[in-house]
Amino acid sequence: MARETWATRLGFILAAVGSAVGLGNIWRFPWQTAENGGSAFLIVYLAIVLLVGVPGLLAEFVIGRRSNKSPVGALRDLSGSKTWGAVGVFSVVTGITLLSFYSVVGGWILRYLLESGVSLVGSNPAYFANPGQYFGGVSAGVDAALYHLLFLGLTALIVFAGVRKGIEFGTKIMMPAVVVLLVGLAAWAATQPNAAAGYSFFLRFDPSVLSENFFAILGPAAGQALFTLSLGAGTMITYASYLDEDRSLPFDGSAIAVLNTSVGVLTGLVVFPLLFSQGINPAETGTGPGALFVGLAGAFSQLPAGTLIATAFFAVVTLAALSSSISMLEIPVAFLVDEYEIERRNAVIGMGVLIAITGSICAFRPDIFGFVAGTLVNALLTAGLAAFLLFVGWVMGRDAIDEFTSGVGSFGESLATPWLFAVGVILPLFLVFTLLSQFGVDAAIGFWKTVGIAAVASVAAFFGLRNANSVI
Ligand code: PHE
């Protein structure tokens, strides 16, 4: 059976943007920004997107397009080593882990959308009366599990339909709808009283917050940058594996990063003015995944035409979440299709059943949910991307340069060598450092010692790879 490919270039870009734009931008980004100093976080996050995210995205694209395989087959075939294939299996685990918690959040959103939509005719949505209590009641337990299954079912349906008819067709409709609705909401939010306080919290840059909290901000900002660009899970390897022609990967990668970041910022321009217009200061709403959710629902309840606005908002979030969740499910599905020649349909059903179970565990146990959505996912993505980068830098080497430069002009060609150096040396070091800092190592033993350990770990990984693969 011939392997599937994207029908058009735009289709690929939209699918990748669809994967990137999701709950990471809308739910996680404002929450993380609020918790980590507002605009100071924004600056560090933007810098990491540019300096780590874009080169990292290109690394995943290079692996995917070169091999035309999903991560396990890609790493194994390009290196000729089974060890690397085993490293690829990590991405299958990461895909399943991601969707297990993501589908629960998707379920919450779906519930709020249905509740708001139904209330368009009739009374107010139930969550208007007491948003905190409502969220507490539906965010875990049987309700959360049922809506998780519904969201997962929708995701599976799209992936079931295949690369062109499902993912490409779906994202072509969903992404423009997300942007149009968000622009409308942002314009409307600007007319709300006290919106200016929201903009200032979000956009006014205060260097002292940055310099005082730089290292505390670094870990969450890096985690957020990887999460939002769908990096480290092999999603972008898998999507690029369906590319069959030569086109400029640096161009596509930059376009995807710019679009994704714009949607993130646009979401901030909706969320922060709205919260401030209702007298809610996000820095004070406490921590936890539900905090901002509750704040927004509260803001909607105060507004004229609040139900309509809420319906539009949750519709955006549902579409954005679906176009990301399909990219998570595609990782293990592509693995089964590529490696075992299982039919796509059966692969979707098998993985769907598995994630129905793992997601239900997250739905019933908020403690497990919190661990999976935060620490575990951050660690898997950071470690996963570090492995992909080392692979590109040390195993692919020249081949990576060839793949990077195919279809680019002379400007793009001049970027190839600095890119390979960054990808092979600097960025893995940075990622190992952030990985250690996520576990509090830097706080425990100090900054320079942590840098030292990160350097030693990277060098050890390098020599390990050298021995495992005669190619370098
Ligand atoms: N980028 C997606 C979002 O922002 C999440 C994601 C992470 C998707 C990793 C695929 C892989 O919601």
Which of 35-44, 52-61, 161-170, 410-419: highest mean pLDDT?
Answer: 52-61
Over residues 304-309, mean pLDDT: 84
Residue 470, pLDDT score: 45
Portion of the chain with pLDDT greater than 90, in percent:
33
Ligand 1 center–CA 101 separation, angstroms: 12
Q: Which of 17, 28, 178, 230 to mutate to test the pocket of ligand 1 (most atoms within 8 A of CB)?
A: 230
pLDDT range class, residue 292, cuts 50, 70, 90: low
pLDDT range class, residue 286, cuts 50, 70, 90: low
Give yes or no for residue 230 CB within 6 A of ligand 1. yes
pLDDT of 163 over the 80 cut: no
pLDDT range class, residue 291, cuts 50, 70, 90: low
pLDDT range class, residue 408, cuts 50, 70, 90: confident
Ligand 1 center–CA 24 separation, angstroms: 6
* Residue 321 alpha carbon, nearest atom of ligand 1: 12
pTM: 0.88
Ligand 1 center–CA 229 separation, angstroms: 6
Ligand 1 center–CA 278 separation, angstroms: 30
Residue 231, pLDDT score: 95
Over residues 224-248, mean pLDDT: 89
CA nearest ligand 1 atom 8, residue = 230
pLDDT of 464 over the 60 cut: yes
CA nearest ligand 1 atom 4, residue = 24
- Mean pLDDT estimate for the chain: 86
Ligand 1 center–CA 31 separation, angstroms: 16
Give yes or no for residue 437 CB within 6 A of ligand 1. no
Residue 1, pLDDT score: 57
Q: Which of 228, 262, 265 to mutate to test the pocket of ligand 1 (most atoms within 8 A of CB)?
A: 228
pLDDT of 429 over the 80 cut: yes
What is the per-residue pLDDT across 377-395, written as a single tens digit (0 to 9) for each?
Answer: 888 999 999 999 999 998 9
Give yes or no for residue 228 CB within 6 A of ligand 1. yes
pLDDT of 13 over the 70 cut: yes
Residue 284, pLDDT score: 67
Residue 233, pLDDT score: 94
First CA to last CA across the chain, in angstroms? 34
pLDDT range class, residue 295, cuts 50, 70, 90: confident
Residue 313, pLDDT score: 85
Residue 265, pLDDT score: 86
Give yes or no for residue 22 CB within 6 A of ligand 1. yes
pLDDT of 67 over the 60 cut: yes
CA nearest ligand 1 atom 6, residue = 230
Residue 472, pLDDT score: 41
More confident residue, 214 or 17: 17
More confident residue, 179 or 35: 179
Give yes or no for residue 75 CB within 6 A of ligand 1. no
Over residues 304-330, mean pLDDT: 88
More confident residue, 385 or 272: 385
pLDDT of 294 over the 90 cut: no
Distance from C-alpha of 114 to C-alpha of 273, rounded to nearest angstrom: 25
Residue 191, pLDDT score: 86
Q: Which of 45, 260, 327 to mutate to test the pocket of ligand 1 (most atoms within 8 A of CB)?
A: 327
